[in-house]
Amino acid sequence: MQSIDQSGTSAASAPIQKIAHLGIAVRDLEAALVTYRDRLGLRHLETKDVPERGLRVAFLEAGEALIELLAPLNEQSEITRFLADRGEGIHHLCFEVADIRGELGRVEAAGIRLVNREPSLGAEGLPVAFLHPKSCHGVLLELLEAPKPA
């Protein structure tokens, strides 16, 4: 399916290809898995620790996109402040792109403030970088570079 916007760009050539995942900050990963896996019935793909971000992360499948449950491993985690200020809830939205460095340059030139100028490896083992929520109407956006087709 293709849609045409007013600039004439087709969805097939759009730089942002799809929603990769929705990140949800939770206090207790096991309790969140009871809800999302056992009660809601989403398929649990894996749980992994990302110690450099202070996170334990679980991925569940929701159609083409994933749900990323993020729980703190320690007080220095990337979501400690978010949980303290706002409680559990939607933390970020991740878009898949083909060329993350190219997209970071493009959106910055278009006026979006970057949180990370350089991509780093995310929980999926793929390059990720965040865009500032103040530039994105209150939503922390993550870009993730899709693996190149072999």
Q: In the complex, which residues of this chain contact Co ion (CB under 5 A)?
A: 23, 68, 94, 142
Alpha helices per DSSP H over 22-135:
29-33, 80-86, 100-109
Residue 55: partners with Cβ closer than 8 Å, 6 or more residues away: 49, 70, 71, 72, 73, 77, 78, 79, 123
CB of 93 to Co ion, least distance (A): 9
Nearer to Co ion, 33 or 123 (CB): 123
Please choose, from the candidates 38, 42, 144, 133, the residue with its C-alpha nearest in 3D space to the C-alpha of residue 82.
133
CB of 68 to Co ion, least distance (A): 5
Residue nearest Co ion, CB atom distance: 23
Nearer to Co ion, 88 or 142 (CB): 142
CB of 13 to Co ion, least distance (A): 25
Nearer to Co ion, 68 or 96 (CB): 68
CB of 23 to Co ion, least distance (A): 4
Residue 27: HSE in the Cβ half-sphere, 13 Å Cα cutoff? 6
Nearer to Co ion, 12 or 131 (CB): 131
CA angle (68, 89, 30) in 5-degree steps? 55
